[in-house]
Amino acid sequence: MKSSKANTILVTGANGQLGTCIKAIANNYPSCNVVFEDSSSLDITNRNQVVQYMSNSQFDYIINCAAYTAVDLAEDNKEKAFEINAKAVENLTIACKRFSSTLLHVSTDFVFDGKKNAPYLERDSTHPLNYYGASKLNGEQIIQQALSKYVIIRTSWLFSEFGNNFVKTMVRLGQEKKELSIVADQYGSPTYAIDLAHILLTFIASSSTSYGLYHFSNHGATTWYNFAAEIFKLQNQDIRLHKTTSKQFASRAIRPKYSVLETKKVKETLNVEIRNWQSALKEMISRL
C-alpha cells in the first residue's frame, strides 16, 4: 500500500518556461508538495549552496528545469553552457546522493545528429552537432554515472504560453510582418511544456520506480515551416510564408535535420495517452 505522505519536491529553474508550467499545474497533484526556486534564490552552480540548501530542507525529489538553452549563443559561451548544463547538474547529483533524493532532469533531442530517418529511441547512439547538445549530453552522463534513482527526459521543440519559444515568436512576427521565411528542412516533434510538466509530476505522483532515460514530445513530426503555417492558421493570420533551408538560414549552431523522438517507453511506463502536437498547439493558442 502506498504511503499517503506528500512527496516533497524542489523545482530548480522555476522562472523558466517549464518551471512556470509546473507551477501552473501543481495544484492538480495533491500528493506533491512543490517548492520553486530560481537562480536568484538558489544558485545551482554553487556546490556548497546546493548542499547547504538541501541539508536545511531535504526533498524526496528534485526536478531540474534549469538549463542554458540559447543554442546559438552556446557556441560562443561554452563555459557558461557547460557550467549550467553539466557542472550544476553534478552539484545536484551530489546533493541527491547525500540526501537520498530522486533527480528528474530534462534533456534534449539535440544529443542526436539527425542522420536517422525514423524516430530516435532512448538506446540510440548520441552524437551532438552543437555545443548546447554536447553540454546537455554531458549532464546526462554525469547523472547516469552518479545516481541509480533518476529520470532523464529528453524533449524537443518546447512551446507554451509562458517564456520565449517559437510559437510566441511567430505570433509576434505575424503581427509585425506580412511575409516570413521559415526553415523547411529540419524535422522534429513540438512539445507543449504543460504536457511535459504533467509527465514529470505523474512520475512522482504514481510513485514510479522505473528509473532511467525517456523521450517525451507530443505525437507527430513536422518542420518549422509547417509548424509556423499551423500557428498562423489557428491565429487566422494571413502571412505569406517562404521555405528556406538550414544552409540559407545560416544559424551559428548546426542543428540536426531530423530529431523526432520515439515516446512509446514513457507512454507504456506511465500508462498515459500522448496527444498530437496540433491538438496541444490549439489549446496553447487559445490561452494567449
Q: Which residues are catalytic?
A: 132
Please choose, from the candidates 71, 61, 160, the residue with its C-alpha nearest in 3D space to the C-alpha of residue 108: 71
Residue pointed to by grid coordinates 512551446: 159
CB within 8 Å of 68: residues ≥ 6 apart: 74, 77, 80, 81, 83, 84, 85, 132, 135
CA distance 86 to 72: 18
Strand pairing class (187-188; 222-223): antiparallel
Burial class of residue 67 (count of CB atoms within 10 Å of its CB; 0-12, 13-18, 19+): buried
Residue pointed to by grid coordinates 553534478: 90
Phi and psi torsions of 29, nearest 5°: -125, 80
The three cell numbers locating residue 235: 491565429
Q: Evaluate whether 89 touches 150 at the Cβ level (below 8 Å).
A: no
- The total of other beta-carbon atoms located within 10 Å of residue 131's CB is 23
- The total of other beta-carbon atoms located within 10 Å of residue 201's CB is 24
DSSP secondary structure of 80-145? HHHIIIIIHHHHHHHHHHHHTPEEEEEEEGGGS-S--SSPBPTTSPP--SSHHHHHHHHHHHHHHH
Residue pointed to by grid coordinates 535535420: 257
